[in-house]
Amino acid sequence: MFLPHTTQENSTKLSKALGIKSDCGKKLKARKNIKIHSPASDDIPSEELTKIGIYIPSWLPISFRPPPWMILKDIETIVATYVYYAANDDKVHSLRTLAKSNHFSANISSFKTLCPEICVDQNVLNVFVSMLTHHERSLSDLNMNWFIPTTFSQYILDEEVSSKNMRQKYQEDFMEKVDYLRKMFVSVKEDNNHWYLVVFDFRKQKVILLDSKPDPSKEDSKELTIKRLALYIEVMLQDATFYDSKRTVVPKVSKFHVVVPDEMSVERCESFFSSNDGGIWVAQWMNECGWCDKYFSIDIDIDTRMRLALDLILHPYNLKRNVVIKSAQQNYPKIEKKCMALARK
């Protein structure tokens, strides 16, 4: 099967577009700073997006406080306060949408699952997947990496949707032609409290299992899940609309060899089985490994959850970005005034 050559330049462009500092030859670390890589909108001055100086006072009640070593811009601090201010726990506030793509949205309630030790809500991952897909397509018409919503694996494992209906549901928005396909990223939720990632590498004809919290007692279950996903995808990809050339061989996905990367990093915590960082690892793997195979070199720092929350809200692709920024700017002085008054008492 013919696959165009992928250059390091393409990889660098994708990383820069997402605000990611990545080096496939070195250990990948979570960023301590972010750069917005596209022009500010007409109604939000660029200086508001780049100025550094505000920090969240220790007396301000916030359910998820950025670590002290994170260097945040003014707008990031204001947005973090707007989302995680502890007194804003009413139902109406929790339902306000913070991030929206053409297909998915995530509200404040979903973003609160990015607080430490909480299993990440699938709406957050799906908005992230949508943004990755958008950037992949903005760099090339070929869309060589397919980032698939979480609902894909759920439909397959629940046996709710036929391969024809699944193709109609996802092909146009998240898939392209198999002729140029490099990798397909499919996230799976295990026992409703842990995410892991299955990567179908069509160049190397391998299935890479990426699990930040591998449980030996669930190995057989994972093996069966991968087989079901592989067979379903193989049947789905038999449709002629997935191909530009009639000479392209339909991939035998069910025959791909399953591998687990050696020396892969895993979740670090005092109580291993109480950690809920799986969704964060899945997001980082998708973010970093589309154009390299250094799955083992991903690392998660304590600030990764906060950085993901801010990136999703402030990314130009977020259809609710300007609305959230304005609401946060209007809200912050009120919160500050209220909390300062309480602090004086």
Q: How far apart are the first and last CA of the chain?
A: 72
Q: Is the dihedral of CA 12, 18, 21, 25 positive or negative?
A: negative
pLDDT in tens, 150-161: 999 999 998 877
- Give the list of residues 6+ apart from residue 120 with CB closer than 8 angstroms, or none: 113, 114, 195, 276, 278, 279, 280, 283
Q: Side chain identity at 340, as an amino acid letter?
A: M
Give the separation between CA 248 and CA 157, rounded to whole angstroms: 28
**pLDDT tens, per residue, the chain with 345 residues:** 222 323 334 434 333 433 433 333 333 333 332 233 333 444 555 555 555 556 677 778 888 998 888 888 889 999 999 999 877 666 777 889 999 999 999 999 999 999 998 999 999 999 999 999 998 888 877 778 999 999 999 999 988 778 888 888 899 999 999 999 999 999 999 988 899 999 999 999 999 999 999 889 999 999 999 999 999 999 999 999 999 999 999 999 999 999 998 777 676 654 444 568 999 999 999 998 888 887 777 778 878 999 999 999 999 999 999 999 999 999 888 887 777 665 555
The DSSP bridge partners found for residue 298 are 28
Closest alpha carbon to 66 in 79, 54, 80, 53: 80
Helix H or strand E segment including 22: none
pLDDT in tens, 62-99: 889 988 888 888 899 999 999 998 776 667 778 899 99
Give the separation between CA 153 and CA 170, rounded to whole angstroms: 12
The CA radius of gyration of the chain, in Å to the nearest whole number, is 21
Q: Name the residue ranges covered by the structural domains of the chain.
A: 8-31+104-315
Q: Side chain identity at 245, as an amino acid letter?
A: S
Distance from the Cα of residue 162 to its chain's centroid = 26
The CATH H-level superfamily of 8-31+104-315 is: Adenoviral Proteinase; Chain A (3.40.395.10)
